Amino acid sequence: MISDLFQNSEKPFIYLGKGFTSEGLPLFAEPNEILTTNRRSEVRKILEEIQNRVSKGERAAGWISYEAGDLFLNPKTEEVHCQDPLLWFGIFPKYKILSEKEILELESAYTDLGYSSKIHAEIDPEKYKETILKIQNFLYQGDVYQVNFTFPLEIDFNGSLGKLFFELRKKQPVPYEAWIHTGKQSDIIEKDVLSFSPELFWERISNEIRTVPMKGTRPRGKNPEEDRKFKVELSGSEKDRAENLMITDLLRNDLGMISVPGSVHVSKLFSVEEYPTLFQMTSEIRSKLNSNIQWMDTLSALFPGGSITGAPKKRSVEIIKSLESPRGIYTGGIFYLEPNREISSIAIRTLEFSGSSFGNKKGRMGLGSGITIGSVPELEWEECWSKAKFLNDSQNSFYLFTTMLCRRGRVYFLEDHKDRLKTSAIELGFVWNNKSWEIYIQEIIDKVDAKSSYRVKIILSQNGEFRAEVSELQLGPKTGKILLSKTKMDQDFSLLYHKTSVREVYSEGYKQAISNGYLDMIYTNGECYVTEGSIHSIFIFLKGEWITPSIDQGLLPGIARKYWIRKLKAKEAKISLENLSQASKIILVNSLRGIRRIDGINFE
């Protein structure tokens, strides 16, 4: 199934929205070859290789970073070796078009997963204002007419990127959405690019080309009346029209370098497009390309895009370089190429994550706006943040749950499960209602066969709604080996101390462990002290006493853990890997499965 490929971090994959394909439906592809580089001197060679492969019938998709644009603006610049790839493309002979039903099936694969994120800007309003005033000095001196100034949002992320992607595509439905996963490559850091760009860079079919620059923004209103007000305001704004016209003229000139004389024309001017969180002003320029124009010629003429640099382009880019940190993929381009057709988006509203697909990841998303002489710093700041609303509104998506044993019509440790779930609900801002809990539990007990044993998973949504998953209990072996994970858990991550759906590391680790014949995967924290298993608490017998990791090491206050601390008179303490290897006995405990004895330890 495609959902399995989406969740396989080893292999690269490419998902592109309906705006990229001639079929008008999303595309999914598994590249059989990857072309990428961090070195400026190799970029042109790789781009020419991509062009050559596509001309012979293959397809290619990927990204070109904003910094790669320097190759076209300053061809003689010395070698640069960047930390991140300047480009990344997958080559593939075929792809799969996804129906709406298949998209829903993909989304459903992430239903039981969750994520949590924290977002902060690298710049504060005062520093932002200072920078805008610097740019306006360049404008007053006549260096430029407009500069697109941007800054990054830093994202601390835990959980499922798949869940995040499908949450964000609801908040920001656009034709040029994309999810590109690079997979694990020996010399390149694993990356995920989640793009929700509304902006078409260009589309070429045979020798016809169009580009649709986006300049001018207003937020959506709180009600229909305010909505209409903001739309009319944007449509008639002299400042936004001036910004849009500057970039439209710039792109007319760019296209003129590669087009049949007289064919360049503005087919739409100052159109206002509606999105769930924003209104955006766009224009459209079309032309007929000269007969000998290839992809590399179009890149040389248009990249980087005028709407995210300024006018004149070259001087704007120089000013941007003096004021900003590297943008990376943000404001570069995402591309899909096939014989006689190429299409690209400007990589705005684009999130870039580095690191493993599971667990903690560092990400970023750029924000920016076009700065002119008439720009008011406070309003530009507000405009930037309005472009992040779709992300800010989706910082967390998870549920709380507890899994209980129901045997002979009785739920074991019921009050302990209730107390833990209630405590988590209160701490994390979930609605909790004692009466609803009691009614729901009784309904489950009344429905199950009193002679059988069941696994009962109770799920609590943020709005206080309960739901349950009930299945017959499968216990598994009572004795076996454990696998020690290489993954280090961050004991400062608050959700480790609550049972939530933000546990992709645990669920993937457990799958890996049991598929290889182990009872569970065991984790350590950043200080290399043992914490817990994917689904068990751990106890060791060392020097005549039972010991279990203390809660502050970064672990769940397990229901069975609480019971067995009393039963064994166990001590809570730090457990080192040396302690683990020296222990004469090791047990795993779980309120559903009871005790499981360990007879061996292996390392991942």
Contact 533, 520 (CB under 8 A): yes
Q: Which two tokens stand for residue 555?
A: 């672990």
Q: Which two tokens stand for residue 556?
A: 């769940």
Q: Of 415, 359, 402, which is closest to residue 558 (Cα–Cα)? A: 402
Number of residues that this document lists for the chain: 604
Q: Of 567, 201, 537, 138, which is closest to residue 348 (Cα–Cα)? A: 201
Cα–Cα distance for residue pair 176/336, rounded to 1 Å: 11
Burial environment of residue 120 by CB neighbours within 10 A (0 to 12, 13 to 18, 19 or more): exposed
Concatenating the DSSP letter of every residue in 9-47 gives: TTS-EEEE-GGGSTTSS-EEE--SEEEEESBHHHHHHHH
Q: Which member of 18, 215, 288, 313 is catalytic?
A: 215
Neighbour order of strands in the sheet with 453-460? 410-411, 400-407, 453-460, 466-472
CA atoms within 13 A on the CB side of 226: 8
The identity of residue 512, as a single letter, is Q
CA-based diameter of the chain, in Å? Answer: 91
Cα–Cα distance for residue pair 465/479, rounded to 1 Å: 38
Q: Of 205, 174, 176, 208, which is closest to residue 337 (Cα–Cα)? A: 205
199 is catalytic: yes
| Inter-residue long-range contacts of 515-520, CB under 8 Å, 24+ positions, other chains counted | 516/483, 517/480, 517/481, 518/480, 518/481, 518/482, 518/483, 518/602, 519/476, 519/477, 519/480, 519/481, 519/482, 519/588, 519/596, 519/598, 520/482, 520/483, 520/588
387 is catalytic: no
CA distances from 591 to 186, 559, 560, 563 (A): 41, 6, 5, 9
Compute the chain's Rg from CA coordinates: 28
Q: Which member of 167, 199, 352, 380 is catalytic?
A: 199
Contact 209, 341 (CB under 8 A): no
208 sits in which H/E element: strand 208-211
Q: Give the other-Cβ count within 10 Å of 73's Cβ.
A: 15
* Active-site residue set: 199, 215
